[in-house]
Each structure stands twice: as C-alpha cells, then as structure tokens.
Chains A and B, each alone.
Chain A
Amino acid sequence: MLSLWRKIRRTGRVAEPPPPLPEGERPERAALLGGSVQIRHVDAGSCNGCEIEIGSAFGPVHDGERYGARLVASPRHADALLVTGVVTRNMAEPLRRTFDAVPAPKLVVAVGDCARNCGVFAGAYGVAGAVRDVVPVDVEIHGCPPRPEAIVEGLRKLTGR
C-alpha cells in the first residue's frame, strides 16, 4: 500500500495538456447533450486494433473522460455509439438493435477506416458493409488504427469541450 502511495506521488500527473478544441463542424444534435456524452462501444467486426486505441484514448495520457465522455455498460445509458470495424453479416442486426436501444437524441461515431469504408476488409465475403450502410453515422474518425489523439478529437466534437 505504501509503495503504491509512493508510486502515485512519484508519477504525479501524466495527462497531457489538452490540445485546442478541434476545428470542423459539430453534429447539430451534439449541442443538445451539453458537454456530457455517454458512450457505448460496439465491435461490429474489428480486428481489435481500434479497441486498443480506444483504450488508450481513455487512459491517463489522453484522458478522454476529462472532456465529458464516458464509456457505459448499456446502450440505454448511452448517447453515442462508438462503432469499430467493418459490419460483418452476423453483427449487422445486433448493431441495428443496439442503435434502436439508445434513447434519442443519439449519435454514431465510426472509428477506423474499416468502419468508414470497409478498409482492408472491403469486398470480403463476410462483410455486410461499412457502418454507414447499417446505421446513420454522425462523426467519422480516420486511421487504421486511428491514433488516440484522433479518437479524442472526434469525441470532443460531440462533447464540445
């Protein structure tokens, strides 16, 4: 316990100073949320590269939570879906249902090139399409995988902070 305390003291704050608020237009409905965005993450068929980056976007260094975004356990609690990967055939219906389970107003963020345009998996036999083909997408985040900074930037478009 003491060693943990010493470690906390030694490490201090690791969160980096926040970059300036991203440029670019915000989705209109995001203003309704007033700086608080609860996020449900849906893996629609990703290679898990994106998940690792989402994990570090909410880690101490980038600290996505400081901008008012938070991961939650149920789509009922969520305002936004964070969808990664191409939408496989098996996940198309669950993704639709998850979207349906979110109370309005709701937003969808497509994370990674797969989610945007099927990326490296384009044309594969198990693929139903990009996220856009299944549910309406509000924000897209580039990269394969996207850098955590890019994910945080995308989320800040929702929270506006």
Chain B
Amino acid sequence: MSALGVVGGVVQPVLIVAGSPLLVGLMRQVRARLEGRAGAGVAQPWRDLRKLLRKERITPRGTSEVFRFAPLVLVATTLVVAVVVPFVATESAVDPVADLFAVVALLALGAVALALAGLDTGTAFGGMGASREMTILALVEPTLLVAIFALSVRVGSTNLGAIVSSTLHDPARVISPVSLLAAVALIVVIVAETGRIPVDNPSTHLELTMVHEAMVLEYAGPDLALVELASAMRLSVFLGLLANLFAPWGIATEATPLAVLIGVLALVVKVGVLGGLLAAGEVFVAKLRLFRVPELLAGSSLLALLAVAASFFLA
C-alpha cells in the first residue's frame, strides 16, 4: 500500500460522496436550461438529501431486513469502488480489489440488493422494477465484460491501475479503433446501468414506465436519502471510470499536494463535462420501449466484440 494509494483512497470517496449530488444537480440544470427553464440550482440534490435525512423512517409492514439493509449495501458497494478505482491517483489503496471484473461485480451486487428489496416489499411495482432491472443487468453484462476484455488485452491485465498507467504512457492508443469501439459500447452500458434516457427515465412519474424508481417506491426519509445518494454515486463512478479508462490525463502519479490537487480538478472537470454531455444528449432522445432496449444492448455488445477482434487483428 503506497502513500499515493492511501491518499487516493481517502480523497476519492470524499470527493465522490460530496461531488456526485452536485453532478446530478449539474445535469438537471443543463437539462432545465435546454428546456428554457431556470432550474433549481446545482446544489438542489444536496438540499434534498439534507431534508431526507431529517425525516421520519418508515418500515412498511411485512418487509424484512433485506429491505432495511439494501440501501446500506448499495451505498457500501459504491463506496468501496470509489476507494479502490484509480480516479484521482494511479495507485489504488487496495490494489487486489482494483480489478475491473471485481469492480463491475461489486456494482452489480448493489443493484441486486436493491432488486431484492423491491421484491421484498411484495408490491406489484417493486416486483416489476426488480424484474426489469435484472433483465437489463443480465443483458448488459456481456457487453461490459467483452469491452473490458478489449481494453485489457493489450495491457495484459484487468488491473485498473495497470490499464490507466499504460494508457498514460501511450496516449496514441486512445484514438485506436479498439478504444473507440469499446468506448461507444461502454457508454451504452453506462446509460443502461445508471438508468438514464433512453433506457430508463430518472424523473418519470408513470409507474408503468419505471425501472429504477419502481423498486424504491417504498423507501422514505434517510433510507431514500441513501438510495438517492447511491444512484448519484454510481453515476459519477461510472463516468469517472469511463473518463479514466480512455483519457486518464491529469491523474496524480506521485503523492505531492499539487499533483493530487490537479488530479482532483481533472476528475471534476472530466466527469462534469461527461455528465453535461449526457444530460444534453438526453434532451434529444425519447425513452425507448422496454422491449426495444435489448436491441440497443445487442448492438453495443456487437461493438464490443468488434473491439476485441480489432485488438487481435490490428495489433
């Protein structure tokens, strides 16, 4: 465990926890502006969270500890990812966990906890959300892993630190067809996993079109705050991952205050820009029907397979 790793392991989770509600605020603000509205301000999600923490906790009758612990597990998985993935510093605090497969599986574990909570309520909407979320998760997995495959083949490792520092040393790779194909595939995956348009609409009020919201309809107060914080964190973690897999520049390679500061700023800028682009893109597309989503995901896994093929035949 190096000094740089420790610094990263402390700075990153703080940054992600503090920054991800702001990212959501930023994305809502971008959307509001494009719609001609004024918007509630970037800090509104934090106000929402503060208020939710002050509210009463509610246990719906007939739910078990699965329902009660799911928000904790959801936040905890994302927090572990925030600690280990090289977001700010190239070295990881817990290197043997900073593996792409492990990170992906951890994030999936959070989704599973929430799906079980949805089923645990025994409401029709909870079950519906869980079923849809699991369907999407199952279909996303091949794309995700094959895209990872494409990225890690040249490095010879799925260790995130290794991938990031190898891209750092060889910037030409970023514009290779492998990277571009894998990047497109990963973007589709991230849109699906974080429940953004066109796969899911985070601000829908229509239960029948919900995926993520349907599972959390029963949560109130602090539990809801955790769920909302976790989904904001997942969004920033995924965007940060995307940013650092393909454009790791600015990331700290030594443990000096200046380098870490630059690393923090670089991450904030990169994730902010990606989030802004994502929000702007959402204005232009409509939500897909649920049963058109697999076509989108199949297309993206094809891109990922092409990326692997390219990495072999163009190498």
Contact = CB atoms under 8 A, between A and B. Distances in A.
B36 interface: yes
Given A36-B48, A66-B40, A73-B205, A103 B58 contact: yes
Interface string B51-72: 1001111100000000000000
A67 B48 CA distance: 12
User: What class of interface size applies to chain A in its complex with B?
Assistant: 20 to 34
Contacts of B37: 13-15, 60, 63, 65-66
A134 interface: no
Contact of A36 (B50, B220, B284): B50
A13 B220 CA distance: 35
Nearest to B28: A65
A146 interface: no
Interface string A65-79: 111101111101101
B205 A13 contact: no
Interface stretch (A4-12, A87-95, A122-130): A4-12
A21 interface: no
B38 A32 contact: no
A63 B51 CA distance: 21
Contacts of B40: 65-68, 70
B193 interface: no
Contact of B44 (A4, A8, A68): A68
A70 B221 CA distance: 16
Interface in A7-64: 8, 11-15, 18, 32-36, 38, 60, 63
B123 to A, nearest CB: 10
B38 A13 contact: yes
A77 B205 contact: no
Given A12-B36, A66-B39, A34 B47 contact: yes
A34 B58 contact: no
B32 interface: yes
Nearest to B204: A73
Q: What's the dominant secondary structure at chain A's contact region?
A: loop
B47 A68 contact: yes
A96 B77 CA distance: 38
A38 B126 CA distance: 21
Contacts of A76: 58, 217-220, 224
Contacts of B217: 73-74, 76-77
A40 B12 CA distance: 36
A65 B36 contact: no
A3 B284 CA distance: 10
B220 A103 contact: yes
Contacts of A67: 40
Contacts of A136: none
B210 A73 contact: yes
Interface string B214-241: 0001111100100000000000000000
A11 B285 CA distance: 19
Nearest to A63: B37
B50 A34 contact: yes
A103 B57 contact: yes
Contacts of A38: 48
B34 interface: yes
Contacts of A35: 47, 51
A70 B47 CA distance: 12
B295 interface: no
A4 B34 CA distance: 10
Nearest to A17: B38
A72 B51 contact: no
B36 A15 contact: yes
B44 to A, nearest CB: 6
Interface string B5-44: 0000000000000000000000000001111111111001
Contacts of B56: 103-105
B220 A77 contact: yes
Contacts of A13: 33, 36-38
A74 B55 CA distance: 15
B219 A60 contact: no
Contact of A105 (B39, B50, B55, B57): B55
A120 interface: no
Given A73-B210, A74-B217, A103-B57, A79 B51 contact: yes
9 contacts: A14-B36, A36-B47, A63-B39, A66-B41, A70-B48, A73-B217, A74-B218, A76-B219, A79-B55
Q: Which 4 A-B pairs have the closest CB atoms?
A: A14-B36, A76-B220, A103-B56, A36-B47
